[in-house]
Structure 1
Amino acid sequence: MVRRFLTILTISLTLTLGFAGIQAWAAKEPASPEFTLEQAVEKAKANSQTLKSMKYDINRSYEVRQYVGDKVTFTPLEASDSEADATFKSLMSADLNWRMAKRSYDAQEDTLVMQTYKIYYGLLQAIEDVKVAESQLKNAEWKHRVAAANYRVGLLNKMGMLEADAALAEAKANLEAANKALEDAYQKFNQLVGLWPEDRPVLVDKPSFNEVKIDNLDYEVAKAKADCPSIWLARQKIDLAKINLDLYSFNNASEPYVAKKIDVDKTEIAVEDADEQMDKLVRTLYYTIKQSEEQYANAMDSVKTAEESLRVIKVKYDVGMATLAEVRAAEAALVKAENSVFDLACQHEIQAYAFQKPWAYAAS
């Protein structure tokens, strides 16, 4: 009886531990979900604890506003020491806090989208960088084999062999660095959208290069200023400071009237400074975009040149007028040229969104 019990217990433990081992293995199996840029943005929003907290801030500030508003019986037209005066000031402050909470939420959402753009395209770039590093290593290994063969038969001196060794070591180091950068890019993306660290998502969208066209830069600057949450907030603070000044009681024992006047002046300076900073940012972004577009056109020309060079080298190789090493070098040059185009396209996508929401770019 005891022997039978021990046998059953042993089998049960084996099955339990085996099942647990399978579960642990399955938990570590990396997933490869597909993500468009839009899907990544939505997942990032849903995964953002900051946005969730800010929603509570909106609800809380609204409840405070309603609570204080119920206590206001009339709008004071001049300064007094009455409780109604103090309550009205509290309502103005509570109303501003509520509207601030809503605008802050929208601004944080814009910032999160900007971060998603950077991380999404950053991961795409990291993937391509590994491909380039692999191509460069393949080319370096081929050149090293040729150098070693020439060195053995006396066609290459010691210095030439050392240079080939150094080039190969550098190519290996570059690939290792690219793989580490790719791992870091995956971790950033996974953390952003709420995936496990070992997951390897597949990014569906690729950058499409579309020239940014505007009719008037001054109009774009003015529009950015009008839409900017931080400038809006600064302007609201001017209104609040002016209300406090208009309703100032000269029986105030803690602050003189001139102090309230200084508060108004300070808030006006803050608006002027925010306006100036936004003006500079929008113009800088626009000129950076135009520069990127010129670089992209040049990079496309370089790709065409590299493609033609590879075509010519292959023709020469087929008739015995070029070596395989030259073909490998031309292939590596084309991969590098294509990567430059891809990098510029990714950066242009980020810059284009930044131009639409410059405050998000500044905050990200």
Structure 2
Amino acid sequence: MKKAASLLLSASLLFPFATLSHAAEGLTYQEAINKALDVSNQVKNAQLDIERKLEDVQKSADNIYFMPTQASASAEADGAFTAYVANGVKYDTSKQTLTTQQDTIAYNVRTAYNKILQEQEKKKFADLSEHNARTQSYVAFLKQQAGMAGKLEADRSEKLYTAEQKNNAVNETNLNNAYEAFNQLLKLDPKERPVLEERPEYKPLGEVDVETHIARVNAQNPTLFQADKGIDLARLGVRLYDPKRSDTTYKGTKIDIEKAETSYSLAKEGTEQAIRDIYANIRALEEQYKALEANLAVAQDAAHLAQIQFDVGVGTKADLEAAELKVAELKQKQFDIIVNHDNLVQAFNKPWVLASGGGAK
């Protein structure tokens, strides 16, 4: 009994420690995406829908006696073939629907992950801003007491400090909201604060032939695949048209083809325009990043000088903190650009994640 109790005690000590150790490792992008995919009801339903559509294909295949190339004398045979082709299209499009949902969830998780990182950086800067405002307020108070500044300046500094406190509270709320949105995608408790292990890296897009990229994306686009299958079905309706058995005219079936082709064209044009817009936004961010790098270098030099002046006694702590705050502000803006750039690059490669409505569950 003593030995068993000892083993139980060892296990109770060992396993919680192992669990905490694993949690402390944090989540990578891919781990977060995998978790969201595993718990997604949308993905589960899409997978079941594929199975269901396959059953329909197999059942309709059993009813086919021959492959008609045009309307035949047998309404039953034509109907069976039409049902088989239609079910095949539904099966193929259901697989594309699953792909779209998986890609959309991956995009939503990555952007939500990035949003937390973004809000964390904003919170760090807000903490520094509040601390700096408090320092400046205290300096203004001391100047007033020494007769070196008036009450107006002291009151202004105090108001600025109060404003920074309120801004910091807003940043705290925004960070909590970002965590809750991320947790919802992974079906975690809203109060959980998972450790995020990765950060987006800034990698300029490089030389890109936009038209070649558009062609490559179109070839992989599940939305265009579905629209193209709609054209196939409409053409089948024309091919097997029989005025004696149809509830529409031959012209009506031809119009259905035009409608399907127009739907495809609209989807294609929308995708291509989205890609061009995203590309333009990416390039704009890259130019902003270059300008910010130059400004940051200047601010870092100023902060370095302020540190030297403070060390030799010719500069104040308030001046040093103000210079350091400027560096922190530019770094926070730089990280904003990195996050936005990362999000846009994801959408540039798979623009259908934006057209699918987002909000993966």
Work out which of the residue numbers 350, 353, 358 in structure 2 matches 1:357: 350
1:11-57 Cα offsets, whole Å, 9 max, x none, are xxxxxxxxxxxxxxxxxxxx756101111111111121110111000
Per the TM alignment, residue 254 of structure 1 is displaced from its structure 2 partner at its CA by 2.5
SS in 1 for 2:219: helix
For 2:57, the equivalent position in structure 1 comes to 65
**Counterparts of 1:194 and 1:177, CA distance in 2:** 25
List 4+ stretches of structure 1 deviating above 6 A. none
Give the one of 253, 269, 280 matched to 1:260: 253
In structure 1, the gaps of 5 or more residues are: 1-30
Matches within 5 A, 1:198-347: 198-252=191-245, 254-347=247-340
1:206-252: CA deviations, max 9, x gaps?
Answer: 12111112442110011111211111111110010010011111114
- Secondary structure of the corresponding residue to residue 211 of structure 1: coil
**Aligned position for 2:152:** 159
Moved more, 246-255 or 122-131: 246-255
State whether structure 2 residue 27 is matched by structure 1 residue 35. yes
| Mapped contact 1:285–1:355 kept (Cα < 8 A) | yes
Partner of 1:171: 164
Q: Which amino acid aligns with 1:177?
A: V
Structure 1 match to 2:4: none
Hey, what's the Cα distance between the residues in 1 that align with 2:210 and 2:191?
A: 45
Amino acid at match of 2:221: C
The whole-number CA distance in structure 2 between the counterparts of 1:215 and 1:174 is 41
Secondary structure of the structure 2 residue equivalent to 1:35? coil
Which residue of the partner structure matches residue 74 of structure 1?
66
* Counterparts of 1:87 and 1:165, CA distance in 2: 81
Of 129, 135, 155, the match for 2:128: 135
| 1:84-108 C-alpha deviation (Å, 9 max, x unpaired) | 1111111111111100100110111
Deviation at 1:253, TM superposition (A): 5.7
Amino acid of the structure 1 residue aligned with 2:349: Q
Shift of 1:182: 0.7
For the structure 1 residues 253 and 38, does the alpha-carbon distance in structure 2 shift closer, same or farther, using more than 3 Å as the test? closer
The answer as to whether partners of 2:25 and 2:197 remain within 8 angstroms in 1 is no
Aligned to 1:27: none
Counterpart of 2:277, as a letter, is T
TM-aligned CA deviation for residue 321 of structure 1: 2.3
Cα distance, 1:188–1:32 mapped onto 2, change above 3 Å: farther
Q: 1:74 to 1:197 in 2, by over 3 A?
A: same
User: Counterpart amino acid of 1:171?
Assistant: E
Please give the TM-score of this superposition, normalised by the length of structure 1: 0.88
8 Å contact 2:234–2:257 — kept in the other structure? yes
1:204 aligned partner, one-letter code: E
Equivalent of 2:187 in 176, 190, 194: 194
Other structure's SS at 1:289 match? helix
1:33–1:201 contact (8 Å) kept in structure 2: no
How far residue 110 of structure 1 moved from its aligned partner, in angstroms, is: 0.7
Q: Structure 2 stretches of 5 or more lacking a match? A: 1-22
